[in-house]
Structure 1
């Protein structure tokens, strides 16, 4: 039987964004690293159940085929809302557990605080009229 090699979702996102140089390049290219950070946080024993649910919702949003800004229609720009949700949850984790907790899990060479601040503001600006719809869709607000 032939062995099938499966790709990690991080690698799939990386491939999807490999040649992207669009209007939102400055923050969309951080999408895979932010996704990976959320998966690392999920693996930590000290994370409470409520935070785990938020992380799971954000991770599921990355793979939802017909989210508010779907990749199948908008290509790489479809990751704008995914990144916003990811950062919304990461900022909540930062408030609960401290920035140092996240920084220890961050694997990129880029400064995490700069990435979080820049990407959150830019993704928030890009989805500003859809924020409530996105957060309701993923179940982060009622």
Structure 2
């Protein structure tokens, strides 16, 4: 799916791929939460949800997150901005990794995956209202548009 994203990103744009991919992640996380809460007798539901999640992530946040952080910072702040964005990205990854097992024990897998789904819904709102489209723009044009 990352290969698909690389091929179509300049034709479709960053925002449509993000909105579609994160929308798919929302569906897959709620489906996975529903599996643990209601459909545990049908493991195919979990497999489909996981495949959908990975595919949608690799179509959206996977490649586009890295691409957009290299585009959205002003030229004079790009080095520091990229450093901070990478630090936050890996810090968030570490937080999710280390918090997953304790949260799963506390809340249960179904509630935890639904909570992740809610976070993805919030991400959809952020993308829709805040994230600019940078398709076809030079770095200078992006800087002028975003400031």
The TM-score range, normalised by the shorter chain, is: 0.3 to 0.5
**Of Structure 1 and Structure 2, which has the larger fraction of its residues in helix?**
2
Query: TM-score w.r.t. structure 1 length?
Result: 0.34
Q: Which one scores higher on RCO, CA 8 angstroms, separation ≥ 6?
A: 2
Query: TM-score w.r.t. structure 2 length?
Result: 0.33
Larger Rg: 2
